[in-house]
Structure 1
């Protein structure tokens, strides 16, 4: 009798769940790459925090040095799908097939909202939706503007034209900073009456760090060595070659956590400069932010950024921070108050800033403490609520 009652209750619960899921509005997030980075964290955070109210699917391309996003989505029980022709680099053949592939998927699934992320998905996804004449609300989050990267003229022009055309096919654009909004309005890459600034946020209540001693043990680091560190995918836009140069004369070790196509160039540079005992390329490490206390100084030397999560995480860890004046960084850090801000690709100024923290540990500690207090305004709950209001 009891068994029958339990079975009936479970059966009823499943029916209720099916009804509730059926009545939920459906969201499709599309993002090009599967390796873990800022845009992937953004999608994952929204998907996992909105799953109670929406029926969520996340679709990706096949590019990426790891499948970390897909693994995290699977662990969280979020539906995911792969578009085999969606690639990061421009390829006429794959891009045409990607439009058709995504268009077919949109026809087969009645999504209420399609939320595109990063340049390639933003363009290809918008074209696919236009091709289908679908009624879904098309939203795009720009994680930095690719046409501002150091590119050949023709690529700069091509990416800009792609953004301008696809902007007319989208219903709404989200940018991560006021600076990015002004760029969008200046270049016409968003509709002036359909754009909002929504900053990235951290789930501060659940963010946990190892102690400095534990983090260094896990990374096999000397407990007494000065460690300069960063967490970044190994792309040219991350400016890591400048960080290598800036630290080579200092009495400190450089630790870079991350993976990507620039690894070979960085390895060759460390060998040529005979810096293999001073520079550690640790590769990709899951939940790398937990290890931030291993660093004495955090440096973000990017030449192009959006709104970097890793900077927020370094602030939450209370680290002294040096970052370049790109993207939203000046809207996150205040120079000389919560960190040091230097020009991008300026080797000498970067080296001087790092040296100043080493010589003045008390100043470094005070700036780190101020950053830890300031980061509280970048809360994930605010990001989710503002995004939901646009949906």
Structure 2
């Protein structure tokens, strides 16, 4: 420890890209008790778009790896510019850990999980906590397969969903070394009205019903089904508009799909935005037709904003929403069901309001940032006491 009453805590992630795990890490780092924890955020890559969101008391250190990004999604690091860095980075991190001897190393994603466990082998007095953020986790990927297999070598594994906890236990991690700590958000940020002029700036008519979705433009988020469903929604609710917030490698293909379906005039791709709470306030309903998830921050934020949510009942989504109480569920890859559910909430104001109010109440009760931070602090203290 750095002192009799302080804990040297390292939070380790591949990069502070714009994603759910990374946002959760930043919120946790900022919210931890600064009288108790000396917090250092470590990243593998130098590119860290969310770095400016870290509070001044949080230290940022990197392993100095230059990452490669693409024009399609510059916020995400695809890999190292120099392949030799895949060998250099682990050595650098293990050396830093052996030199500084942190009390706790906590990692979040597959690459950093593997490096954190390697550091734990070199520093047996350091408590190593690794993470499970997504189920299924791509066992056909060699890196993910190594992460799955090596999970048993962490002192503890934290999943943001019950499904993730079951998944890691199947890989041989004893139940007593697995915890579920749900994602949390500063929910007060989502209790607002849309700023004046926002809709106009987005090309949305002032009185039009607006369905929105937020997330990376990648296959598993279900944007194709949403665009297919939108043809029917538009037939039933002719003045409705769709707001697609986020960026990613499939943006051009999705824009082409909207054009092919004849709905390009009422589908708005915003690209990457840093004003998501304002954008949620401009929506009337939220669509989240994912193929699989961990515990999605985007859906949690929509709940906090009081939006009626239509989602697929995959692992993380089903832990956030309850059918016909806080949202509606539709089948994966079922655009007809998705269209029916969206039309229902758009055409029934009272029903939509009830769903949105119940979703907001559940978010406040169960998924606050304070609740998440308290759970992590309790885990750190328990594991440190057990290690002495």
- Shorter-chain TM range is 0.7 to 0.9
Equivalent residues in 2 for 1:191-340 (5 A)? 191-205=174-188, 207-211=190-194, 215-217=198-200, 219-249=202-232, 250=234, 251=238, 252-340=240-328
Secondary structure of 2:274's aligned partner: coil
Distance 2:198 2:125 in 1: 50
Choose 121-130 or 30-39, whichever is displaced more. Answer: 121-130
Please state if 1:172 is matched with 2:156: yes
Which residue number corresponds to residue 388 of structure 1?
A: 377
After superposition, give the CA deviation of every residue in 1:262-284 in whole Å (9 maximum; x if it has no partner): 22322332344443312111011
After superposition, give the CA deviation of every residue in 1:282-315 in whole Å (9 maximum; x if it has no partner): 0111131232121111011111211112222211
Distance 2:220 2:64 in 1: 26
Which residue number corresponds to residue 70 of structure 2?
A: none
Which residue number corresponds to residue 115 of structure 2?
A: 124
Which residue number corresponds to residue 4 of structure 1?
A: none
Report the RMSD for the aligned CA atoms in angstroms: 2.6
- Asked if the contact 1:337–1:370 (Cα under 8 Å) also holds between the matched residues in 2, the reply is yes
After superposition, give the CA deviation of every residue in 1:32-58 in whole Å (9 maximum; x if it has no partner): 132222111211111111133211111
Specify every segment of 5 or more residues in structure 2 that has no aligned partner in the other structure, as ranges: 68-76, 381-388
- Asked if the contact 2:225–2:333 (Cα under 8 Å) also holds between the matched residues in 1, the reply is yes
Which residue number corresponds to residue 168 of structure 2?
A: 184
Q: TM-score, normalised by structure 2?
A: 0.84
Secondary structure of 2:213's aligned partner: strand
- Asked if the contact 1:116–1:139 (Cα under 8 Å) also holds between the matched residues in 2, the reply is yes
Specify every segment of 5 or more residues in structure 1 that has no aligned partner in the other structure, as ranges: 1-19
Which residue number corresponds to residue 11 of structure 1?
A: none
Across the two proteins, how many residue pairs are aligned to each other? 361
Deviation at 1:334, TM superposition (A): 0.5
- Asked if the contact 1:234–1:262 (Cα under 8 Å) also holds between the matched residues in 2, the reply is yes
Which residue number corresponds to residue 14 of structure 1?
A: none
Distance 1:187 1:351 in 2: 38
- Asked if the contact 2:132–2:165 (Cα under 8 Å) also holds between the matched residues in 1, the reply is no
**Closer, same or farther: CA 62–243 of 1 in aligned 2, 3 Å:** farther
Deviation at 1:333, TM superposition (A): 0.7
Deviation at 1:141, TM superposition (A): 2.2
Please state if 1:29 is matched with 2:11: yes
Please state if 1:350 is matched with 2:331: no
Higher radius of gyration, 1 or 2? 1
Which residue number corresponds to residue 49 of structure 1?
A: 31
After superposition, give the CA deviation of every residue in 1:117-175 in whole Å (9 maximum; x if it has no partner): 12221123323432x2442110012111353x5xxx743xx356313332122100111
